[in-house]
């Protein structure tokens, strides 16, 4: 009896230790699946239960053969793609798995992990990597099982996503080739020459405190008269978004502000503050920071706008060229426009 009790105690101890060793992995696997659900992946893309969760605690674990391509000396264990490109292989092309002859690479893992949230990426690398590879293996198995099984509507959805991805990549490459430092500088020089050839325009740089009523405007005026900095009072009392920048609006030209605001600014000299005045937005106190006749602003102030314009022109030029060289036939009169919103047609 004593011997049987001792054997039972040792067996229970091993079960507890096994559970303790597997618990962290079980927890991480659960977190991994929960995050994939939060990412709204389709149900077929979710990883299966880990072996520890799928089997009873006392069931024997199935034997899984793991091939280490780096350590194996057998040519049968190394994907043919890896053999043929190994001397010139890029890191992203390094194989991590092979599924029925299809090689999955490190690049596939990286592409899948790009949009994972921090809840997953904070998992230790060696655990996360294994989970990602296993998930990709399962995806590949499911994708192979779907070969030849997709319905017409499913094929159309797949084609739409592929088309959108390819279009985005093509546009990004066109923009990258057009929006260079040299192109930005050249665009700025053209912009500056255009400004200097035109009549100069008066510009002001101002800050404001905007409040809801006259009483609040007078309270702000008293605070300023007591010596408090304009930026401090604006940050505390102004309801305008510019309050976060101490009330500073920045440079503007004649005709771009409401008439009451521009009239108040025109009466000021740099450093002066207006009396409270009312507009349809509320009550204002305005301080003129500086004024100038327009010239070309510094490149740093317009760099982003110039880059956006160069990108827009590059996209437009590419699409115009492609349309010009293509054969396009439209059949708009043959289709009821309202049917474009009928998603159920894809499931017919």
- The per-residue pLDDT for range 25-39, each reduced to its tens digit, is 444 455 455 444 444
pLDDT at position 301 over 90: no
* Helix ranges (DSSP H) in 148-289: 152-178, 181-196, 214-225, 230-237, 259-266
pLDDT at position 175 over 50: yes
Q: Give me the sheet containing 248-253, strands edge to edge.
A: 248-253, 202-211, 282-293, 277-279
Domains of the chain: 16-146 (no CATH), 153-198+303-348 (no CATH), 201-293 (3.10.50.40)
Q: Write out pLDDT tens, residues 184-211.
A: 999 999 988 887 777 777 899 999 999 9
Give me the pLDDT at residue 29, please: 52
Q: What is the mean pLDDT of residues 17-25?
A: 39
Distance (Å, whole) CA 52 – CA 276? 73
Better-scored residue on pLDDT, 278 or 297: 278
* Lowest mean per-residue pLDDT among 47-56, 81-90, 248-257, 299-308: 47-56
Q: Are 305 and 284 in contact (CB under 8 A)?
A: no
Give me the pLDDT at residue 4, please: 52
Distance (Å, whole) CA 121 – CA 108? 16
Q: Which of 149, 105, 120 is nearest to 47 (CA)?
A: 120
Q: Write out pLDDT tens, residues 210-267.
A: 999 999 999 999 999 999 999 999 999 999 999 999 999 999 988 899 999 999 999 9
The mean predicted confidence, pLDDT, of the chain is: 80
Q: Write out pLDDT tens, residues 77-117.
A: 444 544 454 557 899 999 999 999 999 999 999 999 888 88
Q: What is the mean pLDDT of residues 62-84?
A: 42
> Residue written as tokens 């009451």?
260
pLDDT at position 60 over 50: no
The Cβ-side half-sphere exposure at 283, using a 13 Å CA radius, reads 14
pLDDT at position 296 over 90: no
Q: How far is CA 229 from CA 7, 100, 146, 222, 224, in A?
A: 82, 72, 68, 12, 7
């Amino acid at each position: 009896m004593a011997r049987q009790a001792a054997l039972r105690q040792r067996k229970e101890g091993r079960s507890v230790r096994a559970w303790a060793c597997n618990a962290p992995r079980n927890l991480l696997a659960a977190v991994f699946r929960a995050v994939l659900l939060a990412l709204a992946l389709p149900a077929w893309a979710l990883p299966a239960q880990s072996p520890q969760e799928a089997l009873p605690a006392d069931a024997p674990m199935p034997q899984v053969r793991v091939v280490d391509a780096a350590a194996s000396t057998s040519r049968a264990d190394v994907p043919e793609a890896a053999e043929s490109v190994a001397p010139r292989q890029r890191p992203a092309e390094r194989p991590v798995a092979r599924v029925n002859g299809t090689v999955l690479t490190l690049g596939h893992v990286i592409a899948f992990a790009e949009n994972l949230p921090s809840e997953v990426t904070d998992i230790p690398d060696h655990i996360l990597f294994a989970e990602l590879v296993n998930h990709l293996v399962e995806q590949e198995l499911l994708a192979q099982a779907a070969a030849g099984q997709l319905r017409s509507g499913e094929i159309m959805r797949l084609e739409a996503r592929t088309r959108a991805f390819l279009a985005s990549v093509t546009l990004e490459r066109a923009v990258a080739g057009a929006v260079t430092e040299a192109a930005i500088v050249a665009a700025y020089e053209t912009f500056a020459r255009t400004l200097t050839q035109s009549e100069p325009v008066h510009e002001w740089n101002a800050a404001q405190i905007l409040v809801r009523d006259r009483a609040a405007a007078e309270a702000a005026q008293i605070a300023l008269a007591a010596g408090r900095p304009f930026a401090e009072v604006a940050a505390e009392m102004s309801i305008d978004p510019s309050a976060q920048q101490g009330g500073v609006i920045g440079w503007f030209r004649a005709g771009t502000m409401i008439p009451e605001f521009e009239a108040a600014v025109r009466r000021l000299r740099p450093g002066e503050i207006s009396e409270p005045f009312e507009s349809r937005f509320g009550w204002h106190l305005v301080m003129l920071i500086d004024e100038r006749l327009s010239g070309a602003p510094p490149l740093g102030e317009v760099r982003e706008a110039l880059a956006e314009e160069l990108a827009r022109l590059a996209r437009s030029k590419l699409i115009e060229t492609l349309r010009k060289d293509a054969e396009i036939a439209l059949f708009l009169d043959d289709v009821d426009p309202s049917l474009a919103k009928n998603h159920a047609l894809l499931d017919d």
